[in-house]
Chains A and B, each alone.
Chain A
Amino acid sequence: MATAFKTVEPLEYYRRFLKENCRPDGRELGEFRATTVNIGSITTADGSALVKLGNTTVICGVKAELAAPPVDSPNKGYIVPNVELPSLCSTRFRPGPPGEEAQAASQFIADVIENSQIIEKEDLCIANGKLAWVLYCDIICLDYDGNILDASTFALLTALKNVQLPAVTVNEETGLSEVNLKQKNPLIIRKHPVATSFAIFDDTLLIVDPTAEEEDLATGTVTIVTDEEGRLCSVHKPGGSPLTGAKLQDCITRAVTRHKEVKKLIDKVIKSIQPK
């Protein structure tokens, strides 16, 4: 009976639950799905992490390469993020060149990196004007069940925390670079941006961490990215239902709490893999 009702009137089905301040999957409105993180999942990458938000699964691998720094800023390296939504992760995506959602997600991640200054690009420079690190951050969604932005941001952050770069020196005489694979250093992570997404239901109700189903039924989404000081690294609301400033403030408040939780999780996971 419930199944039939859900198929025929999916929105009404959701509304009944939301009226009781809960969701069909048993969560409260402000509750995240269980967030699981595995660090160092890809042994061949320089840093990697797998993040699961309920069913949504995102893997991020960071590959470091050496290149000449850009001409206009010779003391900086590059960070090149890319979000892939392959057709295997959901029926909504088709194989082929990245669609609008994948491109928009890539740009969102690029903006978060730029806005939060997660890594000082100067830290990636090895020899001024000659050699710098390029970090290719490939974020691939394995299972799409909504809230891809939160999962991607989290995967990126943990993967970057996991990066171990070999020491590189430039030989003064020969001008050649020497890579010392034995001595590896972690990246300096300056900020910890954490994203929190909301779906807007019926123009008024805000629900945290929407599933794919909820995203489809919702009339809009908001994503807020905060760092540990509570500063906003990104406020992204691509259209949808209008919100008042007060509602936006509620979102920010929730995002601040979420940041603290996620930060603890990251700290714990990082600590667990450190040699005792």
Chain B
Amino acid sequence: MKETPLSNCERRFLLRAVQERKRLDGRQCYDYRNVRISFGADYGCCIVELGKTRVLGQVSCELVPPKPNRATEGILFFNLELSPMAAPAFEPGRQSELLVKLNRLIERCLRNSKCIDTESLCVVAGEKVWQIRVDLHLLNHDGNIIDAASIAGIVALCHFRRPDVSVQGEEVTVYTPEERDPVPLSIHHMPVCVSFAFFQQGTYLLVDPSEREERVMDGLLVIAMNKHREICTIQSSGGIMLLKDQVLRCSKITAVKVAEITELIQKALENDQKVRKEGGKFGFAESIPNQKITAFKMERAAVDTKDVEEQAEEIITKADPPSEVFTKPILHTRGTAQIGEGIENAWGDLEESEREEAAEEEGETDATAFECQKMEMEDTSIMNETEKDEPIVLSDSEEEEVVILEPQDTPKKTRTQTNLKQENTSKKTFNKKRKKKRATH
């Protein structure tokens, strides 16, 4: 499905609102939307909601050989997916320009900032290291994907626990969570992206643009920063020229937002850890607010399965017993046999001459086998299929006319698979003939 285009009046309305320092959702220019973080039951799984934009993050790990030029470092892999669920215009499996851009930015924000200690991910130098894979799925697109994705990425990494390993000689033992508690990754700092939308060549500025605002903006500035006010990545796109002061002002705003978000992340992580430690309920089920009328919960429900056995028994006894009538297999040549006199393929019956040819080709002109097959055919078939004066039927497609090279009075041999040119009446009689023959059902 294509994206619904933005009409000119909508565009004008939005720009006018920006000029009047108003936003559609009632925010001030520098306001960030609400951030909500919920955790799944697995380690390293979280959903981040930034207003209505929603990103799912999941971290997983695997033991792999390291890259040859970095023998003592673990591998970090990021993959952001724009799920077709997020917006109708996103197609599955297509590497759009937007997607490539976002993935690059995520990598620069979370990998190149060296926020994860990759050396601690080394198990045996040059042989085995942990590969940490971060999968981010955009579930709902309401603007500012990059901020939501960067928060989801870092939260998932902080929440993740990898299995503990021990190395004895050359033997590497990976412990299950029951044997040894999984260990968290060592994280130096938490970079978070903050986006700024610029309008009218940078005259107006909005923090955390929504999807509508992104559609009418002139340029975008993304700053990734940690709570120590260190800039990890900065990127300006959309082809606008920014003054030094504007960038400085943006970085100051970023510092404030990042401090708030980092605090929120830490609180959320602590909360989840506390609940897990105390053995309370955790996971997505707990993150659904109870008071919402669109949400509903049901406690563990017992299902009465007492008399399922009787019910099953009843069905089975009522059913007809399996038929005892079987068709006998017919041996054509060595290694080729057939059952069923049902409709045969449209390749035509293996006429005797053809059969011989086929047998010759296989180098198996086994005369005795051939004789025996003929005999079997005769006692099983009522159709006199092996009669000598059989005509050769040539037909190579369903719609094709049937060519009979030898005259014949009965239509029995002309049963190509779905012979449409056959008259219905002759078909019926033919069917009746066949029905008498066998009753299997």
Contact = CB atoms under 8 A, between A and B. Distances in A.
Q: CB atoms of A and B under 8 A apart anywhere in the complex?
A: yes
Given A145-B417, A249-B315, A261-B326, A28 B441 contact: yes
B326 A272 contact: no
A28 B432 CA distance: 10
A103 interface: no
B9 interface: no
Given A28-B435, A273-B334, A3 B420 contact: yes
B345 interface: yes
B303 interface: no
B331 interface: yes
Q: Most B CB atoms within 10 A — which of A32, A39, A54, A272?
A: A272
A36 B337 CA distance: 6
Interface stretch (A58-66, A74-82, A110-118, A263-271): A263-271
B334 A256 contact: no
Given A27-B342, A31-B342, A269-B331, A260 B319 contact: no
A47 B347 CA distance: 25
B345 A265 contact: no
Interface stretch (B26-34, B47-55, B421-429): B421-429
A143 B417 CA distance: 13
Interface stretch (A18-26, A216-224, A231-239): A18-26
A32 B421 contact: no
A8 interface: no
A39 B335 contact: yes
Contacts of A208: 441
A54 B331 contact: no
Q: Most A CB atoms within 10 A — which of B336, B369, B430, B438?
A: B336
Contact of B320 (A26, A145, A213, A250): A250
A265 B339 contact: yes
B36 interface: no
A34 interface: yes
Contacts of B438: 28, 31
Interface in B392-432: 415, 417-418, 420-424, 427-428, 430-431
Contacts of B339: 32, 34-35, 261-262, 264-265
Given A25-B417, A31-B438, A55-B346, A246 B319 contact: yes
A40 interface: yes
Contact of A272 (B320, B322, B337, B347): B337
Contacts of B334: 272-273
Nearest to A250: B319
A197 interface: no
Contact of A264 (B321, B328, B422): B328
Given A33-B340, A253-B319, A261 B335 contact: no
A6 interface: yes
Contacts of B428: 20
B290 interface: no
A106 B133 CA distance: 28
A54 B322 contact: no
A22 B417 contact: no
Contacts of A32: 339-340, 342
A72 to B, nearest CB: 11
Contacts of B338: 34-37, 265
Nearest to A38: B336
Q: Most A CB atoms within 10 A — which of B322, B331, B347, B423?
A: B322
Instruction: Give the contact-size bracket for chain A.
Output: 35 or more
Interface in B299-339: 312, 315-316, 318-323, 326-329, 331-332, 334-339
A34 B441 contact: no
B235 interface: no
Nearest to B423: A2
B320 A34 contact: no
B42 interface: no
B8 interface: no
Interface string B33-46: 00000000000000
Nearest to B332: A36
B335 A273 contact: yes
Nearest to A40: B335
Contact of B322 (A57, A211, A257, A265): A257
Contacts of B326: 257, 260-261, 264
A34 B380 CA distance: 14
B343 interface: yes
B62 interface: no
Contacts of A6: 420
A256 B423 contact: no
Contact of A253 (B321, B342, B418, B439): B321
A33 B343 contact: yes
A33 B415 CA distance: 13
Contacts of A38: 335-336
B418 A25 contact: yes
Nearest to A271: B331
A90 to B, nearest CB: 13
B435 A22 contact: yes
B418 A213 contact: yes
A262 B417 CA distance: 22
B286 interface: no
B337 A57 contact: no
A33 to B, nearest CB: 5
A101 B417 CA distance: 24
A252 B326 CA distance: 16
A254 B312 CA distance: 18
Given A36-B337, A257-B322, A55 B345 contact: yes
B418 A269 contact: no
Contacts of A250: 319-320
Given A37-B338, A249-B315, 5 more contacts: A2-B423, A211-B418, A265-B338, A269-B335, A272-B331
6 contacts: A2-B422, A3-B421, A6-B420, A28-B434, A34-B343, A209-B342
